[in-house]
Amino acid sequence: MPQIKIRGIHENDICKISENMIDKLVEAVKCPRDYFEIECIKSVAIRDGKIADVYPFVEVAWFDRGQEVQDVVATIITDSIRNNLNIESMDLAFTVFEKEKYYENGEHF
């Protein structure tokens, strides 16, 4: 169920690291592999009236799994991207879903 939304990094580059990264995340989060989804979002950055490079940003949207697991997940994703794609700097943030506000096919969890 963890949704990993990535912008500012080309989808072909994410494909190169995705299998190994998900292997590590499955172990850390203790949920099935098919629960993970990676979405590469194409966006355009505008700075000072000009089109600019999009700063690498990752959002993990999920149900809370505690600070310890969150820290491990942040490290896995950051290291996978920075160490394998020659990206020096990036940001990562977590969005936490509340079960009573998350619906699947019209039913909340």
Domains of the chain: 3-93 (3.30.429.10)
Phi first, then psi, for residue 16 (nearest 5°) are: -65, -30
Strand-pairing partners, residue 67, are: none
Cα–Cα–Cα angle for 27, 31, 34, rounded to 5 degrees = 105
The 10s digit of each residue's pLDDT in 61-92 is 999 999 999 999 999 999 999 999 999 999 99
Total-model pTM: 0.93
CA separation for the pair 68, 82 (Å, rounded): 21
